[in-house]
């Protein structure tokens, strides 16, 4: 019987050679359930191939059925997928195992990388939180140092001016010096310290607190309240 062009190399039952189905110890092993299923496929394929010998003239189909039956019969006996050669072509099931191992290894590697990235992110978040806390503490210490740099008498006078009703005053050398300093750093607004009368009913008639001065007053009072709460 002549082989059709482009067909399988096994073209008739008489030309089928089972030795062309090669088994290697590198191929994946069957489970019991898979072996049973392979036996069923072998029996059905072989039976259909034998029947086709007598009932049809399709030689290529008959050879294919017998080849399939032989392949699965050998598989059932060996308990593993054998290597299969069809002419110049070869099917090696062990390659599927290698591919599976590669996929599993890649998936595992990606999972490990994801875990490492999550751990690194958690560590980075913790470090950022620590730095923010340290910066906040530093800012608070700087603010305390700055707000506390003003002497208590000067602070009391600035606070009274901030209320808008300083009350009676006597222009002493100390008060004159404080007013000039507060004017120079932008905390009060006064046309001329030298023109303020030596004594009067309210210093607020001559001096007003600027926005910068009001902000300073508010911050220092806030620090004082925080200290009072911490001491309770």
Q: Is 77 exposed, middle or buried (CB count within 10 Å of its CB: 0-12, 13-18, 19+)?
A: middle
* Alpha-carbon gap, residue 30 to 15, rounded angstroms: 29
User: 115-167 pLDDT, tens per residue?
Assistant: 888 888 889 988 898 888 888 887 777 777 777 778 889 999 999 999 988 99
Retrieve residue 181's tokens. 């300093």
Q: Is 37 exposed, middle or buried (CB count within 10 Å of its CB: 0-12, 13-18, 19+)?
A: middle
For the whole prediction, is pTM greater than 0.85? Answer: no
SS3 210: coil
Please state, rounded to an integer, the average pLDDT across all residues of the chain: 75
SS3 content of the chain, % helix, strand, coil (to 5): 65, 10, 25
Model confidence at 230, pLDDT cuts 50, 70, 90, reads: confident
Retrieve residue 169's tokens. 């005053």
Give the pLDDT of residue 37: 73
CA 175 to the chain's CA centroid: 62
User: 184-229 pLDDT, tens per residue?
Assistant: 999 999 989 999 999 999 999 999 999 999 999 998 888 888 777 7
Q: Are strands 208-209 and 199-200 parallel, antiparallel or unpaired?
A: unpaired
């Amino acid at each position: 019987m002549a082989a059709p062009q482009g067909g399988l190399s096994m073209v008739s039952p008489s030309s089928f050679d089972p030795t062309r189905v090669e088994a290697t110890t590198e191929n994946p092993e069957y489970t019991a359930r898979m072996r049973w299923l392979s036996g069923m496929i072998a029996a059905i394929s072989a039976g259909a191939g034998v029947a086709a010998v007598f009932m049809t003239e399709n030689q290529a189909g008959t050879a294919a059925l017998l080849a399939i039956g032989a392949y699965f019969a050998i598989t059932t006996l060996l308990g593993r997928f054998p290597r299969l050669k069809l002419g110049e072509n070869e099917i090696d099931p062990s390659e599927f195992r290698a591919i599976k191992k590669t996929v599993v290894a890649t998936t595992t590697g990606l999972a490990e990388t994801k875990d490492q990235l999550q751990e690194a992110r958690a560590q980075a978040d913790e470090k950022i939180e620590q730095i923010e806390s340290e910066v906040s503490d530093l800012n608070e210490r700087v603010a305390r140092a700055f707000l506390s740099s003003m002497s208590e008498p000067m602070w009391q006078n600035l606070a009274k001016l901030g209320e808008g009703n300083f009350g009676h005053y006597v222009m002493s050398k100390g008060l004159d010096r404080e007013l000039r300093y507060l004017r120079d750093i932008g905390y009060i607004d006064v046309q001329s310290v030298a023109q303020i009368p030596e004594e009067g009913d309210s210093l607020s008639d001559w001096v007003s607190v600027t926005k910068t001065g009001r902000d300073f007053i508010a911050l220092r009072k806030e620090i004082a309240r925080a200290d009072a709460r911490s001491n309770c």
